[in-house]
Structure 1
Amino acid sequence: MTPSPLPAADEQAALWNGPGGQAWVDVQPMLDELFAPVAELMIETAAIASGDHVLDVGCGTGATSLLAADAAGPMGSCLGIDISGPMVDRARQRAAAAASTARFACADAQTHAFGPGARTRLLSRFGLMFFADPAAAFRNLHRAAAAGGTLTAIVWRSATENPFMTAAERAASAALPGLPLRRPDGPGQFAFADAGRVGRLMHEGGWTDVALEPVDLPLQMPLTALPVYVERLGPLGRILPSVAGETRPALLAAVQSAFTPFIRQERVCFDAACWLLRGRKA
């Protein structure tokens, strides 16, 4: 008998507290470098001031929370929240090593009992697309925001606009019929591709002055990091450990060749097609 699929929230918790979350911990320095332009744009747009109280949603291993805590200064604060225990543990280690005031909670931001009206700035770098019930999540985040507080987030646009992000699974799909499929409207990486849908979800959650601006951010990483990226991240990274050892080298060679269009000398370069999402609590 085929087992029943997990509810969306449980599925995400299992993923990010298992191999998916551990992979992000293991390659954290590479991902911080890769997504640095994304973090910089978000922090700049959020205009965090000294004394602000920041909530970083889907904080991962803490890179954006550390930046936000620095911007808020000693009179402010930053709480990073993520469903992944391994990533939150890593974020706490980084904060301690940096003597940062950033604090972290391992919880689901869709349901977590935040202090009402306490947060003046809400942020999320690629963290909003994984909620089981996005409308409920936006309502809960709205309750956490102070009057006049803002939400600034960056999310992916569509898979077709981000060929780099789907290159590995497209190259592997013929050889791996069991490769997990990305489901339209998520939860998942491209769940917020439809700007109209995202706008409606935010309005349902109580946010005003909602705006989605398309941004295309040039990202890059060393060519030497590509094998690790291919083998550890995304749908392919999750299924690769179950692939027979004798077939794996040929599969990986075929997949890595799919990235040839993105190689510039000793760098891997591509544009990340994203939405810069903003809203305000009236």
Structure 2
Amino acid sequence: MPAEVRPEAPASPLVDFWNEVLAPKFIRYRHVLVGGLSRHSEAVFPRLDIRKGERILDVGCGFGDTAIRLADATGPEGAVVGVDCCQAFLDHAWHLAELSWTPNVRFACADVERGIDQPQFDMAFARFGTQFFMNPVAGLRAIRSCLRPGGRLAHIVWRDRIDNPWVFEARDVVRRFLPAPGDDALTCGPGPFSMADEAVTRAQMEAAGFTDIRFERIDAKVEVGRDIADAIAFQLAIGPAGETFRAAGALAEEKRPEIEAALAAMFDGVIAREGGLWMDSSSWLITATTPA
């Protein structure tokens, strides 16, 4: 089941940024991004009603852990295709699939926003992937086009900033020392909170052709690092704090000792447990169907 990018579609300006800037950082902090965020997918999977023998598309599959979980749920008579724009992520995903002996999962490097030519799927899933679409309606429409009539979509996106202190407390600390990135700064796209507003995201999904759209709040602790030093390094590499630090360049390095000290003071109040530092977070599970 190879995934083919439609050649007539223009390349996304975000793909190079993900591959060249973000992918190495995501790989370095894989233990946070997979292990630390997995509680959201753990809370969601029992709600998905995955049926044996289904064909499932995992959008923005990253390191492949959710695709393998989906493949186990649909069983050997079913099939899963995990799609991501970062080949470096997929190299890890293939390795994980081999280690777990999951023969009914495959991975393909493709930008879903450009559209992918695939047989019809019964279901599409995404964990923290759709929120990075530069054009959400186009990306959601591309997913819908891969689904059979009556097919299902379930995607997890971050909720309001106020309910995600694990991200924004660190950003606020860093911005005491550094300016916010300018309008011309390279970014990961609209950002991880682009689908936080229920009304806006519902309208986007309706415009993409989905029906029976439902939002369910998921609250869970997320691991932000193995210890304070790890948590500081993660925040200065990825997310709003990381973007601020990267965009500030030489000034950021000059201020690094002060910033790290301030972040250490912030994390000092975080309770360590289960071998790491855990903070509050909140996401939406958004489900929908295609017209039958």
Q: Identify the TM-score tier after normalising by the shorter chain.
A: 0.7 to 0.9
> 1 CA distance for matches of 2:66 and 2:182?
29
**Which residue pairs with 2:24 in the alignment?**
22
Structure 2 residue 84 is the aligned partner of structure 1 residue 82: yes
Deviation for aligned residue 1:267: 4.1
Unaligned runs of 5+ in 1: 1-6
Pairwise mapping of residues 74-223 of structure 1 onto structure 2 (< 5 A)?
Answer: 74-101=76-103, 102-116=105-119, 118-177=120-179, 179=181, 187-220=190-223, 222-223=226-227
Q: What amino acid is aligned across from residue 229 of structure 1 in structure 2?
A: F
Using a 3 Å threshold, how does the CA distance of structure 1 residues 234 and 243 change in structure 2: closer, same or farther? farther
What do the CA deviations read for 1:227-254 (whole angstroms, capped 9, x no partner)?
Answer: 3322322243356463465542222121
Aligned partner of residue 193 in structure 1, secondary structure? coil
Higher deviation after alignment, 26-35 or 236-245? 236-245
**Identity in percent:** 29
Query: What TM-score results when the alignment is normalised by the length of structure 1?
Result: 0.86
**Which residue pairs with 2:263 in the alignment?**
255
For the Cα contact (< 8 Å) 2:167–2:240, is it kept in 1? no
For the Cα contact (< 8 Å) 2:131–2:157, is it kept in 1? yes
> 2 CA distance for matches of 1:43 and 1:173?
36
**Which residue pairs with 1:226 in the alignment?**
231
For the Cα contact (< 8 Å) 1:167–1:259, is it kept in 2? no
* C-alpha RMSD of matched pairs (Å): 2.6
Q: What amino acid is aligned across from residue 174 of structure 2 in structure 1?
A: A
Aligned partner of residue 279 in structure 1, secondary structure? strand
What do the CA deviations read for 1:114-160 (whole angstroms, capped 9, x no partner)?
Answer: 325x1111111111111111111111111101222111111001212
> 2 CA distance for matches of 1:194 and 1:258?
28
> 2 CA distance for matches of 1:180 and 1:57?
30
Q: What amino acid is aligned across from residue 131 of structure 2 in structure 1?
A: M
Higher deviation after alignment, 39-48 or 134-143? 39-48
> 1 CA distance for matches of 2:46 and 2:11?
33
Aligned partner of residue 232 in structure 1, secondary structure? coil
> 1 CA distance for matches of 2:237 and 2:98?
27
For the Cα contact (< 8 Å) 2:11–2:114, is it kept in 1? no
For the Cα contact (< 8 Å) 1:129–1:188, is it kept in 2? yes
For the Cα contact (< 8 Å) 1:131–1:137, is it kept in 2? yes
Aligned partner of residue 114 in structure 2, secondary structure? coil
Aligned length: 272
Structure 2 residue 242 is the aligned partner of structure 1 residue 237: yes
> 2 CA distance for matches of 1:214 and 1:105?
30
Deviation for aligned residue 1:200: 0.9
Using a 3 Å threshold, how does the CA distance of structure 1 residues 238 and 188 change in structure 2: closer, same or farther? closer
Q: What amino acid is aligned across from residue 226 of structure 1 in structure 2?
A: A
For the Cα contact (< 8 Å) 2:153–2:289, is it kept in 1? yes
For the Cα contact (< 8 Å) 1:110–1:140, is it kept in 2? yes
For the Cα contact (< 8 Å) 1:223–1:263, is it kept in 2? no
**Which residue pairs with 1:70 in the alignment?**
72
Aligned partner of residue 169 in structure 1, secondary structure? helix
Unaligned runs of 5+ in 2: 1-9
For the Cα contact (< 8 Å) 1:22–1:87, is it kept in 2? no
Aligned partner of residue 41 in structure 1, secondary structure? helix
Q: What amino acid is aligned across from residue 277 of structure 1 in structure 2?
A: I
Q: What amino acid is aligned across from residue 223 of structure 1 in structure 2?
A: D
Aligned partner of residue 262 in structure 1, secondary structure? coil
